[in-house]
Amino acid sequence: MQKVRLSGIQLGMLFVGFLYGSSSLLNPAFSALQDGWLAFLIGWMLGIIIIAVYISIYLLNPSQTLIGILKSNFGRFLGTVIGILYAWYFLHLAAIVLRDFGEFSLLVILPNTPLPFIIGCFAALCVYSLKKGIEVTARTGELLIPLIPLASLIVTLGIARLIDFSNIKPVLANGIKPVLTTGFGVLSFPFGETVCFLMVFPLLRKRSTLRKTVFISTVIAGLLLLIIVVRDILALNPQLTQRAAFPAELASKLFPVINIYPLILLNLLIGGTIKVIVCLYASAAAITELSGLSDYKALLSSITGFSVTLSIWLYDNVMQMFEFAVSTYPYYALPFQIIIPVLLLIISIIRRTSERRKTS
Amino acid sequence: MITAAFIIGIFILIMITDLPYLISEKKKSRLLIIYLFFILSGIILGILLDTTNPPENPSTLITNMVNFIIGSN
């Protein structure tokens, strides 16, 4: 496989774009109503812990991708089986984000365009970018990701006159349980999804900068998402936020005089594209490594084509999409995002300790 | 038949653009097996999606599985 190297800033930009991706549109904390900000804070803190687990796994197994780490820790057979499951999960995640983008475009900007055409065009852009190499996407991210906070700030400041701080009260009116459940949802979407980066970390030029880069990126992306969550609660009110299909798009409509929803679309185009690209790369690289092929680019188009078909097949309608995201996805993603990585970390620590004992 | 035609069109285009990669790969048979698996499953799925009785979507299957495991209705 061609040697590709990413700088710390490039990896950081990919990380921010990935976390921001579709989360900026869907508001991951909407089901906790006025306590959404608290649920997001809990999910964010748990997210930082789980991302620290991913970093530790990589640092304990340096220069290895997730597939290599799985094989060396779980053994060849079990590692391959779990690797195939991860390849499926990354592919499924790419299909989910493609469908999010398709549904948003269908509902908001292109109501008469067939869904397969919208998703197909979006996927074609992702394949084109990945065929040039993931470092090209990372360099594009360096240019485009700084636009994301700008777009969010314009929308937030534009609707600042509608902010009503009484919308945040009463705090914990329904008890702590819905807040914790939503916090768990925030952990799985978007923070836990960064498990995909275990396939990208080996591309980093200086391993010593990994911890700092990823931590700063998680804090920046978390802050941006927190601003969006709080803005939606204060300006739209919690009930409207919960009922709206895409709260960010609704918030943009409140902007005085001009229509600025293209700015929201800009966020999705930049963040969403990076998220799909990272997921497709992770899936293609995982399948390539599992099958012993030399270049992930040979499989990329066929995997993306399958992912487009899968994204059309995923849901019957947009309501099923939201129902799946809230009720099923956190439990479905739990083994991939938390259980297997925590097991991997424990096994890696035990192996490292026993190796040290042997050498001493 | 719009969905099926569109999806089949996409896959034909994919196969044409991927020819250089298929030629340059050393383990051709292994690559072809995986490649054709994705291409054929995509085409078959695309055709099935356009029928009057499409297959149950994966989200419903995953939801049923999750509900069965966590014991929820």
- How many structural domains compose chain A? 1
Identify all chain A residues contacting B63, using CB atoms and an 8 Å cutoff.
324, 327-328
Burial class of residue A201, CB neighbours in 10 A (0-12, 13-18, 19+): buried
- Residue type for position A125: L
* Domain annotation covers residue A228: yes
Q: Residue A199 sits in a domain of what CATH number?
A: 1.20.1740.10
pLDDT at A124: 92
Distances (CA, A) of A230 to A39, A107, A127, A224, A251: 11, 24, 35, 10, 12
Range of the domain at A23: 8-351
* Domain annotation covers residue A356: no
* Domain annotation covers residue A245: yes
Probe site for chain B from A313, A314, A316 (most B CB atoms < 10 A)? A313
* Domain annotation covers residue A1: no
Distances (CA, A) of A130 to A95, A142, A295, A300, B40: 16, 16, 12, 8, 22
Q: What is the ipTM of this complex?
A: 0.92
* Domain annotation covers residue A360: no
Check whether B73 has a pLDDT greater than 70: no
pLDDT at B51: 85
pLDDT at A240: 80
Q: Measured between CB atoms, which of A291, A297, A332 is closest to B62?
A: A332
CB A236 within 8 Å of CB A247: yes
Check whether B36 has a pLDDT greater than 80: yes
Dist. CA A144–CA B32, nearest whole Å? 37
- B58–chain A nearest CA distance, Å: 6
Whether the CB of B8 is below 8 Å from some CB of chain A: the reply is no
Interface A:B, Cβ pairs < 8 A: 110
- Grouping H, G, I as helix, E, B as strand and the rest as coil, residue A6 is strand
Dist. CA A81–CA A57, nearest whole Å? 19
Check whether A270 has a pLDDT greater than 70: yes
Asked if A293's CB is within 8 angstroms of B10's CB, the reply is: no
* Domain annotation covers residue A193: yes
pLDDT at A351: 93
The residue-averaged pLDDT of A208-221 equals 94
- Grouping H, G, I as helix, E, B as strand and the rest as coil, residue B54 is coil
Identify all chain B residues contacting A304, using CB atoms and an 8 Å cutoff.
14
* Domain annotation covers residue A114: yes
Cα atoms in the Cβ-side hemisphere of radius 13 Å centred on A288: 23
Residue of chain B with shortest Cα separation from A117: B6
Residue A74: which pLDDT band, with cuts at 50, 70 and 90?
A: very high
Q: Locate tokens 């196969």: which residue? A: B15
